[in-house]
Amino acid sequence: MTIDFEIEGTDKEEINLMKPFCEFLLFNLRQDIDEQVNIELLQAKSRELLKATWIKWTSKPNYINMKWIIEDIKSAIKYRERETGQYQIYFDTTVLFRSSKNKLEQIVRFLDKGNDVSKATGVFSKIFNRYQRNIPKYWTAYIQLKLKRFATTKAVVIV
């Protein structure tokens, strides 16, 4: 799950707002995950996680608290500026799932996409897709809010 975008234009004042804009996006993305993810639905998936043979437990818990996992997921969403001037909001793939040797990304993929036994929930991809579609609108609104004028630059989503 990544969102890649860049800014077209040369207005230095607007381009200098890119890092605060990315932080603004991260804050709102994390807040939307808090508000829109159905914990009860994911809690039912926690039983499937406990039974999963593909998870390499370091110490297998008796219970998985999905609120903790959601907090871990939110903290693993980050942004970076690439050398090409593009920005990326991404899921940090180096973060491990608690009490296991598996990457948290595998757990998120399982919760989001399901597998041949478990149904997909799509909760995370829906949020990421909505943000990806609306980056240009968010950029325009952010510039209007911060600079009190219309944006002269344009945010372009890279697909």
- Could you tell me the strand order of the sheet in which 77-81 lies? 77-81, 87-91, 2-8, 154-158
Q: Which of 33-37, 61-65, 129-133, 150-154 has the lowest mean pLDDT?
A: 150-154
Comparing 28 with 44, the larger pLDDT belongs to 28
Number of folded domains in the chain?
1
Q: Which pair of structure tokens corresponds to residue 75?
A: 């903290």
Residue 14 has pLDDT above 90, yes or no: no
pLDDT in tens, 135-159: 999 999 999 999 988 888 888 888 6
Q: Which helix (H) or strand (E) holds 4?
A: strand 2-8
Residue 91 has pLDDT above 80, yes or no: yes
Comparing 62 with 41, the larger pLDDT belongs to 62
Residue range 69-98: average pLDDT?
92
Residue-range definition of the domain harbouring residue 92? 2-158
Overall residue count recorded for the chain in this entry: 159
Residue 22's alpha-carbon distances to 38, 43, 78, in angstroms, are 25, 30, 9
Q: Which of 17-26, 36-45, 135-144 has the lowest mean pLDDT?
A: 36-45
